[in-house]
Amino acid sequence: MIGARPRTLALALVLATLALPGCTGDEPGEVLAPAGDVASYARDLHPLLEASCATLDCHGDRGRALRLYSEIGLRAEGLSRDAGLSDPELAANVASLLAVDPGAAPARHLALLKPLSKAEGGVAHVGPKLWLNRDDPGYLCLLGWLSGTPAPSACAQALARVALPPK
Amino acid sequence: MSARWLVILPVLALALTGCLGESPEERARREQDRLCASERECDDGDPEHRPGQFCLLCHGPDYAAEGVRFALAGTVYLRKGDLAGVEAARVALRDAAGREFDVLTNRTGNFMISVAPGLDQPRDRGRGQLDIPFTPSYPLEVSVTASSRKVEMRSRIQREGSCNACHAPPESPSSPGRIYVLETP
């Protein structure tokens, strides 16, 4: 830092601090605790995301946006593939989900709009369009969680359509 | 450029580097560049070549050695840890439209499924090769049967036609390892 003044260094550090929150890191331990409700995520939403989004060829990949850990897909370092999903993994999923569109209103959240049909206001998504309209139980499940008003019956209805084979 | 920016820019660059991981597409491209440095290198010429590798890197939408393009392909092993693939394992698939098709692996464990629109029904060409008359709709459900044991894949295939892309050894947090049907040696 030859010739740099203290005020310049301070400015550089502030900018770096602002840039870093965009990084979610690879491991759950590196992620700050999110504001989302992890318990209702684990209970209502995760089984649906695990079955329809978290496969290794989609969001179960460290390099992809909305990286999701799941029992059948990506695991955190140090965990057996047969182990149940850990609390840090669940918390990391919540952080990842919220980080898709930080601060967005629930109904306009990108995580909700990407799987939605374009005819219904959805946006481009390399993966499939999972929901044909805003009455789809999967849409209502995620919207409920993002809004802080979990919709377990919608989640259960959506999960019934994509349930995975038993262990 | 002032001395201030000479400090700020490198610090920002260092901070942002941590965000720039390698995307799956970049990883696939790098692997393809490694495997397909020349057409000749990928043109091994028979359905038994390169078991365990990412079949669609050289026979996929972006590149088709010898004009051979697969919709789905992979390699099956009998036991976890086997180094050689298993012959005559049955790979059965069901697409999102409910269409079912299956193929038997060849002597190196390879199977490959191509789309041939003119057909009335799937056509088994032997040596692990199956032609189907439609482009399969994702997601796909898959099972593998070998040595009288049937294993259902618990997750669905959402987009990746190269089975070995996800089933790359060794087993790790980001891979279930090879496709196999028996847990024990």
Whether A74 contacts chain B with CB within 8 A: yes
Confidence (pLDDT) at B28: 66
**Searching chain B, which residue's CA lies closest to the CA of residue A81?**
B173
Please give the mean pLDDT across all residues of chain B: 86
Q: Is the peptide bond before A150 cis (omega within 30 degrees of 0)?
A: no
pLDDT for the residue B180: 97
**Per-residue pLDDT at A64 exceeds 50:** yes
Q: Do A74 and B7 touch (CB under 8 A)?
A: no
| B31 and chain A in contact, CB less than 8 A | no
Domain segments of chain B as ranges: 23-182
Q: How confident is the model at residue A30 (pLDDT cuts 50, 70, 90)?
A: very low
> What is the pLDDT at residue A33?
34
Residue of chain A with shortest Cα separation from B161:
A57
Residue A24: per-residue pLDDT: 44
- pLDDT attached to residue B15: 56
What's the rounded Cα separation, in Å, for the pair B143 and A101?
A: 37
Strand order in the sheet with B129-132: B123-126, B129-132, B110-115, B72-79, B179-182
Q: What is the mean pLDDT of residues A34-44?
A: 84
Mean pLDDT of A19-47: 63
The CA-atom distances, in angstroms, between B39 and each of A64, A71, B55, B59, B66 are 30, 39, 14, 11, 8
Alpha helices in A68-114 (DSSP H): 87-99, 110-113
3-state secondary structure of A114: coil
Task: Name the β-bridge partners of B151.
Answer: B144
pLDDT for position A7? 63
Mean pLDDT for chain A overall? 84
pLDDT in the model for residue B97 = 94
Q: What are phi and psi of B16, to 5 degrees?
A: -75, -25
pLDDT given for residue A29 in this prediction: 39
Kindly list the distances between the CA atom of residue A153 and the CA atoms of A138, A141, A146, B73, B144, in Å, as whole numbers in the listed order. Answer: 10, 8, 15, 38, 34
pLDDT of the residue at B35: 55
Rounded to 10 deg, the angle between the A6-19 and B3-17 helix axes is: 30
Low-confidence ranges of chain B (pLDDT < 50): 18, 38-43
Spatial contact of B58 and B164, defined as CB atoms under 8 Å apart: no
Name the residue type at position B33. D
Give the separation between CA B15 and CA B31, rounded to whole angstroms: 27
Nearest to B21 among A54, A62, A79 (CB): A62
Contact B21 A75 (CB under 8 A): no
Q: What is the pLDDT of residue A20?
A: 43
Label residue A82 by pLDDT band (50, 70, 90): confident
State residue B10's pLDDT score: 67
Least confident residue range of A30-39, A67-76, A150-159, B150-159: A30-39
C-beta pairs of B55-63 under 8 Å, 24+ apart in sequence: B55/B110, B55/B112, B55/B161, B55/B162, B55/B163, B55/B164, B56/B161, B56/B162, B56/B165, B57/B28, B57/B31, B57/B32, B57/B162, B58/B32, B59/B112, B60/B161, B60/B162, B62/B32, B63/B32, B63/B36
Q: What is the ipTM of this complex?
A: 0.75
With a CB cutoff of 8 Å and minimum separation 6, the contacts of B145 are B89, B90, B92, B151, B181
Determine the residue among A46, A48, A57 to mutate to test chain B binding: the one whose Cβ has the most chain B Cβ atoms within 10 Å.
Answer: A57
